[in-house]
Amino acid sequence: MFYRTLIIPLIGLSSVLLVKAIAARRRRNPRRLPLPPGPKGLPLLGNLLDLPQIVPWEGYDKLCKEYGDMIYLKALGQGILVLGSRRRVVDLLDNRAVNYSDRVVLPMIKMMDFDWTFVSMPYGMRWRQHRRAFHQYLNNNAVPKYHPIMNEETKLFLQKIRSNPDQLFTDLQFLFGTTIMRTAYGFDDIRQNESLIHNAEKLVLELAKALVPGRFLVNYLPILRYVPSWFPGAGFKKHFKELAQLNVKTRCPPFQEAKRDVEDGRKGNHPSISFSLIDRLPEAGDPNRADLEAIASGVCAVAYMAGAETTVSSAMALVYILASYLEVQTKAQAEIDKVIGSDRLPLVSDRQDLPYVHAIVKEVGRWYSVVPLGVAHANTEDDEYDGYFIPKGTLIFQNNWAITHDPNIFDRPFEFIPERYLKDGKIDPSAPDPEIAAFGHGRRICPGRHFSNDALFLMAASLLATYNITAPKDDEGNVVPLKLEQRNPSIR
Ligand code: HEM
């Protein structure tokens, strides 16, 4: 309905933009290289109405099968490049990372007040400052500091599901939400964490919905930001405003409280990112203080906003797999019985002695794409690649789902086969790893992956050590086949 109401003014505006764009492109592309292949769009609207909205990663994969493993689309003047194979992703996002690590700050990011997160920051000094601070506390060597928090929360989770097994999915959400919240802020107050976790979940799901290419017109015609809220079809303004308010409510108070804790000498039981960052801030009155404080606050908040929902989605897929593939579960439990026994729970440090459980966690990351189209990169400069012209500022999606389901990389990709990572009873370092795509690419690769891998492994091994996971039964005792609730909001 929104499309229909605004279609005529949009066409007028788009014509002006189009004429300007053509003139500029002539200057920027002197060799007149073609754009990468893709479906022919409508005049002015381009491919806006072609952008797949339902299971878009499969839609883009189909287009790639038709036009080639890299397709170019245009929506109201905004170029969109979809990289559909590992080769294209490596060539551009890894090998030309200096040019391909930017983000287009879409209008709705600002409208939802999400421009504080370095996930959406343009490539540059400010992004680098945030990323460096984040990396310092969540790199591969730093993450073990948080294992005690993971252990405590995982134990609590196991107790909770004993008393109420029907709440498994809610408890999973709480497990990762609380683990990350405690890591970021050091809070132990469960009720406080609960409301923040729910808020963060809502924000992240709404953000992911809004990022699906073509879903919100304002992303392609920024001028729509200024349409009055009462204008028919402008309901998105109210929606984004409410989310912006929720964003402030979720992001600011925890950091302020962590600051008060540090000022009052209260130190949590375990190391937390906020404690270290706040402790190192220069004295009040220092000209750099405000800036460094904003970075510290952003780094803590992004950990739970970017980390909780993603890890929970993977964990849910893992539980679904264990209940659906009983032979996988039995094999994993036999391994745990043999290596750990029944006197204690597994630890992250047991991972190399539990290669089958490790392989299950890897295979979940491949089989179930949490971020199937990645987070769009952008190129800062015009580029020529493989005989094509790629204009600067192109939104570049990576079809991570297609890569982790490419039969040339992963044999029988739609089957769940942990054995594909094993050789002689150990993880085979030469086997292709889902991390070639699951966590993104190049300089923007997910910096929370070490944390997520450890927390997921611990949850999987502990759950397997303690329980049998089965699909629910109906009143007549028949197994009800599980449906993996696709949490990725790109499905309507
Ligand atoms: C299963 C779990 C996870 C998955 C599948 C995942 C996936 C991703 C993907 C695909 C990206 C985009 C990378 C790119 O632009 O190429 C990303 C970025 C990011 N992730 Fe994760 N992630 C997970 C867990 C986490 C956790 C636990 C944290 C924090 C503790 C986290 C923090 C971030 C941040 C801060 C970025 C932005 C990086 C940047 O733009 O420089 N993620 N993640």
**What's the pLDDT at 490?**
31
**Computed from CA positions of residues 397, 444, 460, 412, in that sequence, does the dihedral angle turn out positive or negative?**
positive
Residues 36, 83 contacting (CB under 8 angstroms): no
Report the distance separating Cα 469 and Cα 482, nearest Å.
12
Ligand 1, atom nearest to 127 Cα: 41
**What's the pLDDT at 9?**
64
**What's the pLDDT at 476?**
80
Ligand 1, atom nearest to 442 Cα: 16
Nearest CA to ligand 1 atom 17: 446
The one-letter code for the residue type at 93 is: L
46 alpha carbon to ligand 1 midpoint, in Å? Answer: 31
The one-letter code for the residue type at 394 is: T
Report the distance separating Cα 148 and Cα 192, nearest Å.
21
Nearest CA to ligand 1 atom 18: 446
439 alpha carbon to ligand 1 midpoint, in Å? Answer: 6
**What's the pLDDT at 14?**
67
The one-letter code for the residue type at 120 is: S
- In 3D, which of 431, 433, 434, 415 has the Cα closest to residue 371? 434
Residues 218, 108 contacting (CB under 8 angstroms): yes
**What's the pLDDT at 263?**
85
- pLDDT, one tens digit per residue, over 141-162 is 999 999 999 999 999 999 999 9
The domain limits of the chain are: 33-491
Report the distance separating Cα 101 and Cα 53, nearest Å.
25
Mean pLDDT by 10 residues, the chain (492 residues): 56 69 77 95 88 90 96 92 98 98 92 92 96 96 96 95 87 92 83 79 86 81 86 88 92 90 80 91 91 94 88 93 93 98 96 98 96 95 97 96 97 97 97 96 97 98 95 75 51 24
Task: Please check whether the domain covering 33-491 is classified as CATH 2.40.10.10.
Answer: no
306 alpha carbon to ligand 1 midpoint, in Å? Answer: 6
Report the distance separating Cα 243 and Cα 111, nearest Å.
9
- In 3D, which of 339, 370, 387, 343 has the Cα closest to residue 448? 370
pTM: 0.90
Pocket of ligand 1 (CB under 6 A): 118-119, 131, 134, 138, 180, 302-303, 306-307, 310-311, 314, 370-371, 374-375, 377, 438-441, 444-448, 451-452
The one-letter code for the residue type at 268 is: G
- pLDDT, one tens digit per residue, over 281-290 is 998 889 999 9
